[in-house]
Structure formats: structure tokens, C-alpha cells
Amino acid sequence: MIRCWRLDDSRQTLVLGSHNDHLAEVVYWGPRLSDTENLTTLYQAQVLDVTGGMLDQNPELSICPEATRTFPGQPGLNIRDSDGTPLLPKFCFSSATEEDGVLTLTYIDDSTTLTYTARFSIDGQTHVIEAQASVSSTRPVHLHWLSAPVFPAPQFSDEMIDFAGRWCGEFQMNRTPWSAGIRYRNNRTGRTGHEHFPGLIVPCRGATNATGHAYAFHYGWSGGHRMVAEELPDGRRQVQFGHASRVEMAAATEFKTAKLYAMFSDDGLNGCAVAFQRHLRDRIVQWPQADRPRPVHYNCWEAVYFNHNLPELKDIAERAAKLGAERFVLDDGWFGNRDDDTTSLSDWEVDPRKYPDGLTPLIDHVHSLGMSFGIWFEPEMINEDSDIHRAHPDWALGGEDQILGRQQKALNMGLPEVRDFLFDRIGAVLRDHDIDYIKWDHNRVLPMPDAAQTRGSYALIDRLREAFPKVEIESCASGGGRIDFGILERTHRVWLSDSNDAHERLRMQHNAAIFLPSAVTGSHVGPRECHTSGRVYDIRYRAWVAAQRHMGFEMDPRELTEDEAKVLTDVTSWWKENRDWMNTADILRLDSSDEAVIAEQQLAQNHERFVVFAGKAATSAQIAPRPLRLTRLSADSMYRVELKNRDEIAPPTLSRGNPLLKTDPMVVSGAFLMNHGITLPWSFPDRMWVIEGTLV
């Protein structure tokens, strides 16, 4: 007996099928099929032939490949009984429910008393499929590995793209050729990690940013993930995502994966990017005030570090407000005896040495300047030199002889008493002060991976958000160490990287845009000399790179010259004038014909306007700039195109020609912009072209 199901949106179709009550497998996933398609025929048509040296029948590449089916690759489940005996289920069909774009399949193995459930849903507007798996037992069992529902990868693909990185160097793209065997990642750091962003792109042959077929995945979990991208001996390919292996420390009767977000694109990586950007912004993030414009940030960290001084902070706040800041964030150093990073984490009480009258005088001053007030916490961490560690050393996660990270340990967030303590201390600060923003940091990897740690952190954030629903939260973990859709179900902004180096930011923002919209991606104008790279950049470059995302400042404004202050004020004013439409714009990566240029096009959802940011990241190989082709415009429509920052592009002595955009706006068709492109003036490296376009 063959059973089949399908999920559709206007772009794609997902077909699942099974026979003889076995677990379902993905039969088809790609461009939208006809409503009259016979699914049983599809199931039969995709069956592979058998030849010498093979089994008499090919085992299914099911949504949870089973070792008991002679499957030649990595199984989707590894589970043991309470006494350590391996359980090898052979699941059989129990039930299926279908309604409103949601399919739930349930399978039972009578011999092991295990039940497996897979849930698929498809969003007709964002084109994202959400897939989640769970396994339950009538008695406690130990889980070593459970994959979210397994998807096939296309065989008309030569490579896969995943993401690596480091502190101050997040979202580095890896391209790995497909070959027989496994591309395996197992992040056991206990957090999402700079090193292992849980995403995978599988472009089909010939795909670019703007054209071709591509498949994309993201695992929405903050505690470390495992990814298997495997090519079987018969050529089939599977993609598995789940929690990092062996992170469930206790036996239990039910386990569940996080959501796996998957989608198919018929217009290159940009189709993947737009789907993820819209789904995250419009479906996942729960905005405290959805119609509130995103405020310009000021963060004082790189201005004062731990040296908090009220008159100095008031002066800095005044200067930030004059530049255009609308939110002032007080970073690390306001609590306990926190004069450096060796002490006081978890002692969340205002330091009377630095703030003899509490935080209220600073907050009142900030409010008088028209800015809201935010504050830094690192709730999951503890210093040995702290009152709380001295009182409760057993609250620390891991052994006494563990290697410290940034002079600190992690609190055991699986303990209810730890969560209660943190809720009371953080809640008291929020109740006693007019605070509308938390920068929530996580500055070390865990001494041991434990899924209960992540669930405990989620529970604390959920509880605080319920108690203080108007408070916005930023996820920071030494910069970009905890960025994923799981944490963003509970937070509203991410700090992409601790690097304010505009050159590094340009690259990171470009790659992160495959998953993250502008609205959640913090980007700040750093100091003239970058504190993490030592590079010195012109204020124009720093300001325009920050204006690509949720804009802010993180430098000492007292260092600015009069000219620098004017440039920063002008760019900030431009960002404020455009932020409403840019907040919901699609960020499209452009296929630059000049490898030195990293360019993106932010296109309004009504397609009536756009802005192109074209950053010169290196010296071009050729002497003159190559035209830059745009994307997703109406070919027959006319657009007025203007170089917004023409006066700052290049020294006149080295830019001697007369390309039209250098002196005047132009009106041209979408077809011209997409097929020939924009001819830009010459410029030095580490400069940004900003091109505005409006529908005529």
C-alpha cells in the first residue's frame, strides 16, 4: 500500500510518500507541481533501479532513516533503554493529519514502545517550511541523537555552502564539493557559536545570488547543533540537523528537536535570503511595539569600558543625542565591584561607588535628551570572585577545576533555583528603573554541552518577557556567538560581531543577510581606530556600513572632529528618513562582476524604491570599475537613479572621467539596470557607493 501527501505554496511543492506502512520519505521537493499530479505515480517514478553489488531493493531515505531497514548511511535516531541497551525501532504508520498547510505524521514501534512524530508546515507568503520531530516512550530512555525530519539534497548540485567563523570574524562561507561520504559538523560548545552557524545552502549547478535553483536550511536552536550532509553509495543525498549529539543528560519519556527551517528558491541565493528574512521578521520575532521605528543606538562600551563616571557618561549621552542617537545603552561595569572582567558577575546590584544615588540620575538625564535607556546583563555567567559564587558555588556548571573563559564560569540554568534568583535580581532592576532594553550577553562557551542549559535560558527569558513585555532584548554572545531563530523567538536584535571594523562588517553583513533582515541586525559606527583590528577608517565608510542595518554608534563621541560629527549626523539623518521602508525591505546580494566590490540592493516590498550599497573591499584587478547589475526590478519600468554620496567618492585627481552618475541623476529602465548595470565612478578601497533609485 502506498500513502502520499503534499504541501504547496505558489513557489514549491513538497511530496512525501511511503509504502507498506514504513516511515515516509520526501519523494519530490522543488518547483510547484500541477494540482492534478498523481502522487502515487510520483512515488513509483522515483524508485531507483538495482544492479550488481546492491541489495535487492534500495532502503528508503526516510524522514528518520532506520538502522533496522539496512540503511547504508547515518540513521536519524540513536536511542538506548534505561539500562543502556540499544533500541532499534522499526516504525509503522499510525496516523496522518492534514489541515491548513500543516501535515503531522505519527508512527509507532510496538516492540520498543516508541512513538515517532514529524510535523511539517508551509508558509504560503514567506515560502519557508518548518519541520520538527519528536520521539516518545512509555518508559524513560536515553537519547544520543534525533534528527529533525530528514530532507534529500539535490543531485544536480556540485557543492554545499555552510558557515564557520571566529570571534570578530563571524559568518564565513565554506564551499565544500559533494562527494561520497559525509560533511559532518557537531558543535558541542553549548551555544550557537561563532564557529558553527546552523545553516546550510545547497545551490544547484550554475546558481548565483540572483539566478538558479537553491535549497536552504537553518536549525533554530541555541545550544549547539549537529549537521550531516551525506552522499550515499547510490548517489542519493541526505541532510540531517538536530541538537548536538549526546546533550540530553537525563533519561526521559519524550524528546523533541528544534524547528528546522527549509526552503526552495528558484531565483538563487536571494530567494533563500528573502524567505528567511521575511519569515524571521514577520513570523518569529515577537516585537514589543511592532509599529515603533527602530531607534538609533548609542552603546558606551568602547567609550568608557569599566570606567563608569556619572558626569562623563552624561556628557557622552549629550553628544550622542546631538549626533542623532535615540537609545542610550549602559554596558558592562555598572554593578557589584565590577572594575574589570574578573569579578562580580551574578551580583546584579548597582555599584554605589560609581552610582551613589543609583542609576536614576543617569536614566533621567538620558530621558531628558529624548533617548530611551538600555542596560547590559550577562545572566548565565558567574565570577568566582562574586558574592553569589561564595554563597552558592554549587550553582556553577561544570567541575571546580574547569578552564575559565573571560575569567568566568557558567551558571547551571537547568536548576530552578538559579532561574528564580536571576529573575528576582534582574526583575528588581527592571521594576525599579525606566528601562526599555536589555543587551543580554554570553561571553564564554560552556564547560560541557547540556540541552537543559539552553532550555533553562529560554525559560528565564520567556518569564522575564512575560513580566516585562515592553522591554526589548538583544542577543549578544561575544558578538555573534548566539544568533539563531530559536533565540530570536525570544529576543529582538542580535549583535552580529564584536568587531566594529567597517571592512570586516561589510563582509559579515553581506553573508549574514542570507538569514537575517535589517530590522534585527545591529551595526554600529566604531572608533576612528578600530579596537579589535587596529585599522583606521574614514568616518564616511564607517557610517555608511552601519547604515546598512539597524544603525548605532559605539565610540567615544568626544574623539570626533567637527567634520566627522557633521558626516555622522548627516548619514544618521538619512537613515532615519529611510528606516521605515528599509526595515521591511528585502536585502538582495548582487552578483558583482568586480570581485573587489561587495554589493547589496535593498528593495522596498512595493518595489517602488531601492538603495544599493556597493562597498569597495579591495583594489580592483582592472583599472576602471565594471558595471554593477541590479536585480528584481520591473524590466519595463523607468527608475530615477542617483548617487547619494557623490561628493565623497574619490579625490578629483584620481577620478578624472565623467560617468553620468558622478554628476547627475539618470532615468533608465529596469531592463538596463539588470542587464547592463550601473557604471560607478572610480574610488579607493574601503569606500562605499550609495545609490538611490525610485520608480518614475
Catalytic residue list contains 441: yes
- 152, β-bridge pairs: 238
Please identify which of the residues 441, 501, 594, 686 carries the catalytic annotation.
Answer: 441
Separation between Cα atoms, residue 337 and residue 386, nearest integer Å: 9
Contacts of 487 (CB under 8 A, 6+ apart): 192, 222, 475, 494
Separation between Cα atoms, residue 406 and residue 175, nearest integer Å: 32
Catalytic residue list contains 538: no
Q: Which DSSP string corresponds to 113-152?
A: TEEEEEEEEE-TTT--EEEEEEEEEEEEEEEEEEPSSPEE
- 601, β-bridge pairs: 588, 612
Cell triple for 375:
542596560
Question: With the C-alpha atoms ordered 486, 279, 196, 144, is the resulting torsion angle positive or negative?
Answer: positive
In 565-672, the DSSP E strands lie at 586-589, 597-603, 609-616, 638-643, 666-669
End-to-end CA distance of the chain: 59
Can you give the three-state secondary structure of 398-443, one letter per residue? CCCCCCCECCEEEECCCCHHHHHHHHHHHHHHHHHCCCCEEEECCC
Across the beta sheet with 25-31, the strand order is: 2-8, 12-19, 25-31
Contacts of 462 (CB under 8 A, 6+ apart): 490
Q: Are 143 and 248 in contact (CB under 8 A)?
A: yes
Cell triple for 466:
512575560
Please identify which of the residues 498, 501, 594, 686 carries the catalytic annotation.
Answer: 498
- Cell 553620468 maps to which residue? 660
Separation between Cα atoms, residue 15 and residue 17, nearest integer Å: 7
Q: Are 342 and 385 in contact (CB under 8 A)?
A: yes
Separation between Cα atoms, residue 529 and residue 8, nearest integer Å: 52
**What are the φ and ψ backbone dihedral angles of 39, each rounded to 5 degrees?**
-70, -35
Question: With the C-alpha atoms ordered 431, 435, 439, 444, is the resulting torsion angle positive or negative?
Answer: negative
Question: With the C-alpha atoms ordered 456, 459, 460, 461, is the resulting torsion angle positive or negative?
Answer: positive
Catalytic positions, written as ranges = 441, 498
